[in-house]
């Protein structure tokens, strides 16, 4: 899993089968520039994505708070997906929608919706990439479920992380991913058959 700080502390699988790289303050471009796909680039800030069967991306909140437009975020996401594909052609990539945050204002909520639409369009251009609308877990109607966020309204609290973790565990199972690809009328990747 590659994420900004929103997923820090989340539990998806066991330590042996799940790696989480959660970078505080990370924007989509930051993750893109950290991924290496040749053997000459190493270092503490480098991210290796080869060898994984499933890669979950949850990033974009910091792009929103730094004033990036929906189109800019979508183009950055396309570049990130291109870089991941250069290093790992076979992995299923799951892109999680950015979450609404209590600290943000109403105009930010609208911007999240626009970014969600644009990023989803980008993911549809890639084979073996699936977009999930995870942000709906943290709303009831038009209201945010505040009990799932920390006191500052920036991150999920333990309850929110547990809820998100359970959702991701279910969505990232082979059978569920295969079904989601089929429902989206897309070819089910060979690794999920």
Domain boundaries, the chain: 2-187
Angle value at C-alpha 22, between 135 and 117, nearest 5 degrees: 30
Confidence of residue 64 (pLDDT cuts 50, 70, 90): confident
Is the pLDDT at 73 greater than 90? The verdict is yes
Confidence of residue 181 (pLDDT cuts 50, 70, 90): confident
Mean pLDDT of 8-22: 76
Distance CA 150, CA 99 (A): 14
Q: Decide: residue 175, CB within 10 A, 0-12 exposed, 13-18 middle, 19+ buried.
A: exposed
Could you report the per-residue pLDDT of 103-139, keeping only the tens digit for each? Answer: 887 777 888 889 999 999 999 999 889 999 999 899 9
Is the pLDDT at 16 greater than 60? The verdict is no
Is the pLDDT at 38 greater than 60? The verdict is no
Mean pLDDT of the chain: 87
Distance CA 158, CA 112 (A): 23
- Is the domain spanning 2-187 CATH 3.40.50.1110? The answer is yes
pLDDT score, position 143: 87
pLDDT score, position 13: 67
Cα separation of the two ends of the chain: 22
pLDDT score, position 145: 93
Question: Picking from 27-41, 95-109, 126-140, which range would have the lowest pLDDT averaged per residue?
Answer: 27-41
Mean pLDDT of 172-182: 85
Q: Tell me the angle at which helices 174-183 and 158-171 cross, rounded to the nearest 10 degrees.
A: 70
Torsion over CA: 58, 163, 14, 45 (sign): positive
Torsion over CA: 176, 181, 185, 188 (sign): negative
Task: State the DSSP code for 112.
Answer: H
The residue to which tokens 């053997």 are assigned: 39
Task: State the DSSP code for 149.
Answer: B
Report the percentage of the chain scoring pLDDT > 90.
45
Angle value at C-alpha 97, between 55 and 156, nearest 5 degrees: 95
């Amino acid at each position: 899993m590659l994420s900004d700080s929103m997923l820090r502390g989340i539990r998806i699988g066991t330590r042996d089968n799940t790696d989480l790289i959660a970078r505080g303050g990370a924007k989509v471009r930051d993750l893109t520039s950290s991924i290496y796909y040749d053997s000459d680039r190493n270092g503490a800030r480098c991210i290796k994505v080869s060898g994984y069967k499933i890669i979950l991306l949850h990033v974009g909140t910091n792009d929103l708070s730094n004033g990036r437009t929906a189109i800019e975020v979508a183009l950055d996401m396309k570049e990130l997906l291109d870089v991941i594909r250069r290093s790992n052609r076979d992995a299923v990539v799951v892109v999680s929608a950015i979450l609404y945050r209590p600290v943000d204002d109403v105009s930010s909520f609208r911007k999240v919706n626009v970014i969600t639409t644009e990023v989803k369009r980008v993911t549809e251009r890639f084979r073996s990439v699936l977009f999930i609308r995870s942000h709906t877990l943290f709303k009831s109607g038009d209201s945010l479920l505040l009990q799932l966020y920390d006191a500052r309204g920036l991150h999920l609290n333990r309850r929110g992380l547990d809820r998100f973790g359970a959702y991701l565990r279910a969505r990232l199972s082979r059978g569920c991913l295969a079904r989601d690809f089929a429902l989206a009328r897309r070819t089910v990747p060979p690794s999920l058959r």
